[in-house]
A and B are shown apart, each in its own frame.
Chain A
């Protein structure tokens, strides 16, 4: 059992709307392809797909091709999440009520785009999400506030201040990251060895 703030991703499903913004990274592209089987052929005429290639794993080499075949009204490919965010922010800033958002792929992508969406006035409960690919976590150090990406171990070292952090299930929707707290505050000399926990 995880704590209530641990996000749950219930899977992409088509929502009623007059515009659809779909954002995916890595294996998340396949979630969009899978959902395309549930919608009418002209559904993608009102869709904008933004795909982040990510680590360019050869397993997803054909993903841009498969997504382009859906014939979305707009298609964009970004090399990294960071490079996609300004574009997504611009799309959200220009959007009207009736636009629906779909996020698929890593928790890092879902969390960061969700954060932009919440700042644009959307509600998390009206966004369709599906987690695919790595379980690596985006982690905020509660001490120095720095964010470490792609955390796979427990504990994990903060990339900013160097503290060893207990990676909690406690998730901040506002920040789009899990919370990490110093794991050896009471016993400074006792640092548990890091075990790969989030692959």
Chain B
């Protein structure tokens, strides 16, 4: 199934540089209609130019007039974020998918403990807005611990401190303010849910530390999107249809399939949701796994691949399709 019919045409209504690396874009439906309501933690796949990348929605979840995303410029990537930064202006049009939430709040939590690293702040902005919505059923308290390289690069930190006084704590690397994670996690009352979004090293650190301190995995939520990285070209053999498709250096495996008219299912395009999981029948080369969906054993087995972010370092791969 293709997600084509789920796309919404949008127009850029605001482009706001936030700091040296991050720019915020506001999007409204091209036909003026309302956008879907979403829940805090949702993302949309954004399509401007030739790249399709997932971005967390950071606006108010009940604002159906416009969506906001914050894009961190990644100069090492394939150019999706750079394209948005350099070419997209107010009035430009593009496509977005419907909101999908792979990082939702557990509303039975007695408390929400948020840990953000850098641009990982964006889903929490929507989640905190959702939890603070007046007239909502009494919600559990929350606390945000926000780590960034410096005060200058801590996007929205001042605004959030103003909105949620006493519930936002910042930690800046350049001021030598490390987050004492062990002490933070040990002091949490039973029923606290932990959410972490940031660089993959930080997510691994928080998950490992929480597990070692006896936090059950059901209480630890994380979101990390990978971006497909460029790599050497390789050939995809489709076992069922007998077709052969070339993946170029700058294309992702999934994009090459789509360009050839094959429309495999996808949702996040960031290796997180599991929609595009594909069975591998043979591989002449090594699979470079970049997803957060398959287990370590599945990665080792070489029998599955997530074509949205992973590729092959070698000659060819044969998939069940």
Which one of B168-176, B207-215, B291-299 is at the interface? B207-215
Interface-facing stretch out of B89-97, B181-189, B279-287 = B181-189
Partner of B214 from A92, A97, A120, A121 at Cβ < 8 Å: A97
Q: A96-B186, A98-B185 are in contact. Are A121 and B211 (CB under 8 A)?
A: no
Is B1 on the interface with A (CB-CB < 8 A)? Answer: no
The answer to whether B218 touches A97, judged by C-beta atoms less than 8 angstroms apart, is: no
* Interface of A (DSSP majority class): loop
For chain B, the bracket of interface size reads 20 to 34
- B108 adjacent to chain A (CB < 8 Å): yes
CB distance A97 to B215 under 8 Å? yes
**Contact B211 A97, beta carbon cutoff 8 Å:** no
Q: Which of A54-62, A122-130, A133-141 contacts B (4 or more CB under 8 A)?
A: A122-130
Chain B residues in 8 Å Cβ range of A100: 214
Asked whether B190 is an interface residue with its Cβ less than 8 Å from the other chain, the reply is: yes
**With A121-B192, A125-B216, A126-B216 given, is the CB distance from A96 to B187 under 8 Å?**
yes
Contacts of B218 on A, CB cut-off 8 Å? 123, 125-126
B224 within 8 A of A: no
Whether A122 touches B191, Cβ cut-off 8 Å, given contacts A16-B211, A17-B214, A97-B215, is yes
Is A33 interfacial (CB-CB < 8 Å)? no
CB distance from A188 to the nearest CB of B (A): 42
Chain B minimum-CB-distance residue to A100: B214
A16 touches B110 (CB 8 A): no
Instruction: Judge whether B212 and A96 touch: CB under 8 Å.
Output: no
Collect the chain B residues with CB atoms within 8 Å of residue A19's CB.
214
Which of B108, B109, B214 sits near A98, CB closer than 8 Å?
A: B214
Given contacts A96-B186, A97-B185, contact A121 B215 (CB under 8 A): no
Known: A100-B214, A121-B108. A18 touches B186 (CB 8 A): yes
Asked if A142 CB lies within 8 Å of chain B CBs, one says no
Digit string of A11-55 for contact with B (CB within 8 Å is 1, else 0)?
000011111000000000000000000000000000000000000
- For the complex formed, measure the closest distance between the CB of A147 and the CB atoms of chain B, giving whole angstroms: 24
Judged by a CB distance under 8 angstroms, whether A84 is at the interface is: no
B219: interface (CB < 8 Å): yes
A85 within 8 A of B: no
Complex contacts, B194 vs chain A, CB 8 Å: 97
Cβ B191 vs Cβ A98 within 8 A: no
**Smallest Cβ distance from A126 to chain B, in angstroms?**
3
- Min C-beta distance of B184 to chain A, whole Å: 10
| Among A92, A100, A123, residue most surrounded by chain B Cβ atoms (within 10 Å) | A123
Within the assembled complex, what's the spacing in Å between the Cα atoms of A16 and B185?
A: 14
Q: Which residues of B contact A96 (CB under 8 A)?
A: 186-190
Q: List the A side residues contacting B213 at CB < 8 Å.
A: 17-18, 97-98
Given known contacts A18-B186, A97-B185, A98-B185, A120 and B191 CB-to-CB distance under 8 angstroms = yes
Q: In the assembled complex, which residues on chain A have CB atoms less than 8 Å from the CB atom of B212?
A: 16
Question: Which residues of A, 125-183, contact B by the 8 Å Cβ criterion?
Answer: 125-126
What residues of B have a CB within 8 angstroms of the CB of A185 in the complex?
Answer: none
CB neighbours of B109 from chain A (8 A): 121
A40 smallest CB distance to B (angstroms)? 15
Contact A15 B192 (CB under 8 A): no
Which residue among B110, B194, B216, B218 has the maximum number of chain A CB atoms within 10 Å of its CB?
Answer: B216
Contacts of A98 in B (CB 8 A): 185-186, 213-215
| B189 / chain A contacts, CB cutoff of 8 Å | 95-97, 121
**24 residue pairs A–B, Cβ–Cβ below 8 Å:** A15-B216, A16-B211, A16-B214, A17-B214, A18-B214, A92-B190, A97-B186, A97-B189, A97-B190, A97-B213, A97-B214, A97-B219, A98-B185, A98-B214, A99-B190, A100-B214, A121-B108, A121-B109, A121-B191, A121-B192, A122-B191, A123-B218, A125-B216, A126-B219
- The interface of chain B, by Cβ under 8 A from chain A, is 108-110, 185-192, 194, 211-216, 218-219
- Nearest 10 A-B pairs (CB), nearest first? A121-B191, A17-B214, A126-B216, A98-B214, A121-B110, A97-B188, A95-B190, A123-B218, A98-B213, A120-B190
Known A95-B190, A123-B219; 5 more pairs at CB < 8 Å? A97-B186, A98-B185, A98-B215, A121-B108, A121-B191
